[in-house]
Amino acid sequence: MPVQPEDQPLRAPSRIELHRHRQVAESFGADPGRYDRARPRYPGALVERIVAASPGPNVLDVGCGTGIAARQLRAAGCRVLGVDPDARMADLARQSGVEVEVAAFEDWDPAGRAFDAVIAGQAWHWVDPVVGAVKAAQALHPGGRLAVFWNAFQPPRSLGEAFARIYHQLTPGSPNVWAGSILDSYLTMCGQAADGIRQAGAFGDQEQWRFGWDRRYTRDQWLDQVPTLGPHTRLPPATLEDLLAGIGAAIDAAGGSFTMQYTTVAVTAARNGPPDRA
């Protein structure tokens, strides 16, 4: 499916304060190789749009992880500095040539440096939305762009219902995203990011972008990604093993593969003031 951006308002139906759960944010580095291998990339149209909307090529990647977004921006001609609180993730990113400084973004020191864009892929919900927006403004040239974005996924309805039953059985009492629209959870995070940007008082009008795309997964490809998803990184090993077995059986029953529908959602705004460089 071709990627189609849609400039639609993003809503925030409820509050999700994941930035208060730093132990989860810093759990992904338990297996950085799997994370880098299994997590999906971002649509090329998003990368192109960020580059086109920024006044120059110098990019700060907040919560850069293993460097997935950073590598895509570098391939588009940008110079990228990453910031990540997990040294294990940073070490893997460095192996692909991404420069990374280890720090929580709220505590990170720009040290007089300024960037043309500050981005965060699949990471801004781990940052205090107001403090992060203020820090981003401090790190941007006037006219520089803040762009935070997420890949939201949705399996076919019948498979999602099968996943929901498995999670309900094995993780009772835990939030079961499969029971409803997963996109709504990401729209909640987008709305909170937008509120933080407004409260920072340093940015102009916001834009909201959406890009729809599909990815075909085999059973093994999806099972490789599951342990990298936030709610799973701290599960007891036996529970995770049972989940993977149940999910694998559901995919086998659906024919051994399926098409995941993705919507990449972004909130973006330019720092107030005219660009101070070409």
Q: What is the mean pLDDT of the chain?
A: 89
Residue 240's contacts (CB-CB under 8 Å, 6 or more residues apart) are 227, 232
Would you state the structure tokens that stand for residue 151, as one six-digit string?
């890949």
Q: How far is CA 138 from the centre of its chain?
A: 22
Q: Average pLDDT for residues 1-28, to the nearest whole number?
A: 46
What is the domain partition of the chain in residue ranges?
4-155+180-217+262-270
C-alpha distance from residue 176 to each of 66, 186, 211 (Å): 27, 14, 25
User: 227-271, pLDDT tens digit by residue?
Assistant: 998 778 888 999 999 999 999 999 999 999 999 999 999 999 999
**Domain 4-155+180-217+262-270: assigned CATH number:** 3.40.50.150
Place of tokens 């991404």: 98
Please report, rounded to a whole number, the percentage of residues in the chain having pLDDT higher than 90: 79
Q: Give the residue from 135, 278, 126, 149 showing the smallest Cα distance to 207.
A: 149
User: 86-142, pLDDT tens digit by residue?
Assistant: 999 999 999 999 999 999 999 999 999 999 999 999 999 999 999 999 999 999 999
Residue 44 above 90 pLDDT? yes
Residue 222's contacts (CB-CB under 8 Å, 6 or more residues apart) are 247, 251, 258, 260
Q: Average pLDDT for residues 155-172, to the nearest whole number?
A: 94
Q: Give the pLDDT of residue 254.
A: 96
Rounded-to-5 percentages of helix, strand, coil across the chain: 45, 25, 30
